[in-house]
Amino acid sequence: GESVGLHLPTLSVQEGDNSIINCAYSNSASDYFIWYKQESGKGPQFIIDIRSNMDKRQGQRVTVLLNKTVKHLSLQIAATQPGDSAVYFCAEKWGAQKLVFGQGTRLTINP
């Protein structure tokens, strides 16, 4: 069935350290994946996306890695800051424009 899961529901890191958030997806036919950040009381905010013809994509302080062999996606955040504290969701595109979301990982940054 549809499922995009996350290995860890919570992640706590020290300010300045790198964070890695993992995600397993289920649909081997998905050709597009996306990460969102959601802060309390707000809607999901786009972070970075990647197509299935790529295995890595970098943004500002963020990198997404895609391993299609094991259907695994990860989000790396470099030098985490207090403002990075939020819930992070991965999602895969099913069919035309339907996104199937994971349950989310809560990232907490310790000072």
User: Rule CB under 8 A: which residues touch another protein?
Assistant: 32, 34, 36, 41-46, 49, 51, 89, 91, 93, 95-104
Nearer to another protein, 8 or 79 (CB): 8
* DSSP assignment of 70-106: TTEEEEEESS--GGG-EEEEEEEEETTTEEEE---EE
Nearer to another protein, 43 or 111 (CB): 43
Nearer to another protein, 7 or 51 (CB): 51
User: Interior CA angle at 72 toward 103 and 47, to 5°?
Assistant: 60
Least distance in Å: CB of 15 to another protein?
27
